[in-house]
Copies of this chain bind each other. A is one copy, B any other.
Amino acid sequence: MKKSYYAVIFTSIRNSQDKGYALMSKQMEELAKSQPGYLGFESAKDEIGISISYWESLESISKWKANLQHQAAQDKGKSDWYKWYKIRICHVEREYEFTTPT
């Protein structure tokens, strides 16, 4: 992940019902991984959920957004799972990493 790349920040507040959410969430994570241009995924949840996927280009993000199975999941997200969400498409300008010396 040295070249220019992009992050999609998905910040969300769920409602209380599962209605197949856990399964779909897992399926979408797997499906995303198989898309061209996919670079990685990070996710954490407590009061809000934050999921970030990383992509090689804006084109790969557009194609993933338009994927039919993903579109069905997006529709279910709006009708059944989320009270609120926000998606930010970001260009990663710089990065730093720290690992504890061993």
Which of under 10, 10 to 19, 20 to 34, or 35 or more describes the interface residues of A? 35 or more
Cβ-closest chain B residue relative to A90: B90
Copies of the polypeptide in the assembly: 2
When distances are taken between beta carbons in the complex, the residues of chain B under 8 Å from A44 are 44-50
Q: How far, in whole Å, are A84 and B47 apart by their CA atoms in the complex?
A: 23
Q: Which of A16-24, A25-33, A93-101 faces chain B?
A: A93-101
Cβ-closest chain B residue relative to A42: B11
Does A63 have its Cβ within 8 Å of any Cβ on chain B?
no
Given the interface contacts A44-B47, A82-B100, does A90 sit within 8 Å of B93 by beta carbon? yes
Q: How far, in whole Å, are A94 and B84 apart by their CA atoms in the complex?
A: 17
When distances are taken between beta carbons in the complex, the residues of chain B under 8 Å from A96 are 86-87
